[in-house]
Amino acid sequence: MSIIEVTTDTPESFRNKLYNIDTEGRRHKIYPHKPDGRFYRWRSRLSYLLLVFLFLAPFVKINGYQFMLFNIIERKFILFGVVFFPQDFYIVVLGILTLLVSIFLFTSILGRIWCGWLCPQTVFMEMLFRKIEHGIEGNAVQQRLLDNAKLSPRKVMKKALKHGIFFALSFAIGNTFLAYIIGSDALITIITSPPTEHLTGFVAMVLFSLVFYGVFARFREQACVVVCPYGRYQSALVDHNTIAITYDFVRGEPRSKFTRKDKEALTVQGGVETSAAASRGDCIDCHQCVNVCPTGIDIRNGIQLECVNCAACIDACDVVMDKIKKPRGLIRYASLESIRSASQHWLSTRVRAYIGVWLIVMSLFVYFFTTRDMVEVLVLRQAGTLAVTNANGDKVNFYMMNIINKNYNDMSLKVEVLEPKGASVSVIGDISKVTKVSEKSARLMLSIPADKIIGTDQYVRLGVFANGEKIKELTTRFLSSDFSSTTKE
Ligand code: SF4
Ligand code: SF4
C-alpha cells in the first residue's frame, strides 16, 4: 500500500520488515502502553455493549427461538429471531453479500473502522484480555520487566493468575461461539451431561477454548497482521480519499525533539515558542504514538496494512499536543488527500460504484426477504412408481409431499384437486397439524376417473388450504406410465 511523504533518513525502510519480527525472523512481543483519551473511552463504551450482545445473543429467545443461530451442520439459521430454512439459503447468501458490500463501502470511505471499533478480535483483545493483563502485570514497562525477570514465586503467581483468567475467558468465549453454531439448548445439554454422552460436543468445546486461548494469550496482533483476509484487502479498498487514521506530515514535519529550552519557553515565557521551535514541525518525536500501538507500527510512516484503526495513537498524540500547547489532531481521522491539499473528496468514482452495487444487493435482499413464502409445499411424484388402475377403473399416481411451516404458529393443512374436475386426492399421513417452524412429510394418492384422462401425461392443479383458506396452488404432472415428474407453482 502507499503512502509516505514524510522526510526520514530511510523513508521506505519500514516496508521491508514486520514490526513484530526481528532481523533473525523471531517474533518479538509487543508491549503496548495503555491508551487513555476520548477515542479509547468511546471504544470502551461501545465494546461493552458489543460484549453484552455477543455473550447474550445465543441465549435470548424470541417466540421460543434463539435470537441468533448459525447452525451450519443442520443448515438452520436464525438472524434476529427470524428463522431461515435451507430453502431460504439464497436470502442468507444475499444478506451476507449485502454485509460484505456494506463493509467494502464503509472501508472505502472510512478505512478499517470495522477493525478498530467493531471486530470481535479487537474487542476481546483490547477491551478484555489487554485490560486484564494491565491489571495483573502492570503497565507496559512492568510487563516487560516481569517477562525478563528470573522465575520467582511472584512471577509464577502473576502468570498463573493471568493465564488462569485468560483460559476461563477463552472457555466462555468458545462456549458462546459454540452456542451460536449448535444452539444454546444443545450447549447446555453438553455442559450438564457427562462428556462420554456428548463426546463430539465436548471435544468441540475444548478445541474452541484452546483456539481462543491461543489467539488471545499468544497469537494476538498476528491474527490481524498475518491471518485476517479483510486486512489483506485493504490496499484494494482504500485510496487517497479514504478517511483513515493519518499523521499530518505537513504540520508535523520536520520533526525534532522537545528540548529543555522549548519547555522553558512554554512555562517561563508564557507560551511563546523559541524561534527554532517555530520553524520546525509539531511532531516532537516522542514515540508515544508508537508506544500505544497494539501492532507496533509507526503511523508517521503513512497508512500501513498493519494499522487496525484503533485510534490509540490519536489519543496518545493529543495528550502530547496538550502538553506542548499545540492544537490536537496531529494524528487524526483524515484522508491523505485532505492533508496534502486541504480538500476532501470522499465521494469518489469508486465510492459511487460501491454505493450502486450496495443499493442493488440491498434491494434484492429486502425484496426476497419480504416476499419469501412463509409456508412452502413441494409435491413430487414418487420415484419408481407406475400409474395403477383401481377397482373403479380410475388411474392413480403417488406423490411425496414436503411442507415447511416458517410461521410462529401451528397450521392445519388440507389438499384438494382443483383441476381436472372429478379427480380426488387422499393424504397418507397427518397434515392436520403442522407445528410452528417445522418440516413435515406426507404421501399423496391422486385418482383421476378414466374418462378424464387425456393421453399418457397431463397436468393436475392442486390447492393447499390452511385453516380453511387457500394459501397455495400447485401444478404437477399425472402420468399414466412410468416417467419422472416435476412440480411447478
Ligand atoms: S505522539 Fe505525536 S508528537 Fe509524539 S511522535 Fe507521535 S506524532 Fe510525534
Ligand atoms: S497506528 Fe494508531 S490506529 Fe493504527 S493500529 Fe497503531 S495505534 Fe492503532
Delineate the domains of the chain, giving CATH numbers in brackets. Answer: 13-237 (no CATH), 244-341 (no CATH), 375-488 (2.60.40.10)
pTM: 0.80
Q: Which residue, judged by its Cα, is nearest atom 3 of ligand 1? A: 283
In terms of DSSP bridges, do strands 469-479 and 487-488 run parallel, antiparallel, or are they unpaired? antiparallel
pLDDT digit of tens for each residue in the chain (489 aa)? 444 444 445 566 666 667 777 777 777 889 999 999 999 999 999 999 999 999 999 999 888 888 999 888 877 888 888 888 888 888 888 999 999 899 889 899 988 888 999 999 999 999 999 999 999 999 999 999 999 999 999 999 999 999 999 999 999 999 999 999 999 998 998 888 888 888 888 888 899 999 999 999 999 988 988 888 888 877 788 888 889 999 999 999 888 887 777 777 776 655 566 666 667 889 999 999 999 999 999 999 988 888 999 999 999 999 999 998 899 999 999 999 899 887 777 788 888 999 999 999 999 999 999 888 889 999 998 877 778 888 888 889 999 999 999 888 889 999 999 988 889 999 998 888 898 888 899 999 999 988 888 878 889 999 999 888 899 999 998 887 644 444 444
- Backbone phi and psi for residue 374, each to the nearest 5 degrees, phi listed first: -85, -15
What confidence score (pLDDT) does residue 482 get? 46
Ligand 1 close to Cβ of residue 300 (< 6 A): yes
Ligand showing the shortest atom-to-Cα distance for residue 306:
2
What confidence score (pLDDT) does residue 120 get? 93
Q: What is the predicted pLDDT for the residue at 479?
A: 87
Is the C-beta atom of 309 inside 6 A of ligand 2? yes
Taking the CA of 282 as reference, the closest ligand is: 1
Residues in the chain: 489
Q: Where are the beta strands (DSSP E) in 132-234?
A: none
Residue minimizing CA distance to atom 6 of ligand 1: 289
Question: Which residue from 282, 277, 236, 255 is spatially nearest to 112, judged by alpha carbons?
Answer: 236
DSSP at 392: T
pLDDT at position 406, please?
Answer: 87
In the prediction, which pLDDT does 303 show? 82
C-alpha cell at 404: 415447511
Which of 4, 125, 310, 319 to probe ligand 2 with, by most ligand atoms within 8 A of CB? 310
Nearest CA to ligand 1 atom 8: 283
Which cell numbers in the block locate residue 324? 506542548
Q: What is the pLDDT of residues 132-165, one digit of tens each?
A: 999 999 999 999 999 999 999 999 999 999 999 9
Residue from 394, 385, 382 nearest 420 by CA: 394
pLDDT of residue 137: 96
Sheet of 76-79, strands arranged across? 69-71, 76-79, 82-84
